[in-house]
Chain A
Amino acid sequence: DTAVSQTPKYLVTQMGNDKSIKCEQNLGHDTMYWYKQDSKKFLKIMFSYNNKELIINETVPNRFSPKSPDKAHLNLHINSLELGDSAVYFCATRRDRSYEQYFGPGTRLTVT
């Protein structure tokens, strides 16, 4: 059983399109995150979501919107894709009162 899974693993799309990346966890963790890792391998926090509270990193464009249909899922919707959105996106989870974050396998997004 995969603890944190993401779909799709690869996504190639054109500029201007709208796309979604899904994240699912079966760990029962309370907080979920989205991170972006750019071409220089720099990993940056985008969002955290805990108990229906969304906290957004101030540098994230509002074209990005996470949506959580239930506690096990945190999906990432991206509108009007731009070339600079090309990156690997990682979902991560953490249990309350714990420090360790568990990362999903990543989704490589390529915008052409």
Chain B
Amino acid sequence: GQNIDQPTEMTATEGAIVQINCTYQTSGFNGLFWYQQHAGEAPTFLSYNVLDGLEEKGRFSSFLSRSKGYSYLLLKELQMKDSASYLCAVREGGGADGLTFGKGTHLIIQP
């Protein structure tokens, strides 16, 4: 089976740092993705991890531990426009070879 868990909702303050966690149990693993989705819009790609460790891209960083089935997305210097849903997804490979998504974390940024 496949299971990807992330918190439903988080709240953070403008200018602060927030970490969104994701745990996964999937039949295969060929990379972990983070996507951002604003309400009523398409998901947009943020990051990709296939090896253990931290990937940094500007204000966003993503970490992966394959042995623990764990990832997090770290957002620094939060801005109001960062209010969105953040989707953790695993590419399992095989089958339809699409992405298996978690239910998303709705991040609310307060002034």
Contact = CB atoms under 8 A, between A and B. Distances in A.
Interface of A: 31, 33, 35, 40-48, 55-58, 90, 92, 99-106
Interface string B15-48: 0000000000000000101000000011111001
Contacts of A57: 95-96, 98
B37 to A, nearest CB: 8
B78 interface: no
15 contacts: A41-B85, A41-B103, A42-B101, A43-B89, A43-B99, A43-B101, A43-B104, A45-B96, A45-B98, A46-B96, A90-B42, A92-B98, A99-B48, A99-B91, A105-B41
Contact of B43 (A40, A90, A99): A90
A56 B95 CA distance: 8
Contact of A45 (B33, B43, B99): B99
Interface of B: 31, 33, 41-45, 48, 50, 85, 87, 89, 91, 95-101, 103-104
Nearest to A43: B101
B45 A33 contact: no
Q: Interface centre among A40, A43, A56, by most B CB within 10 Å?
A: A43
Contact of A105 (B33, B42, B45, B87): B42
B98 A35 contact: yes
B101 A44 contact: yes
Given A47-B96, A58-B95, A103-B44, 13 more contacts: A33-B98, A40-B103, A43-B99, A43-B101, A45-B98, A48-B98, A55-B95, A55-B97, A92-B98, A99-B31, A101-B99, A103-B42, A106-B42
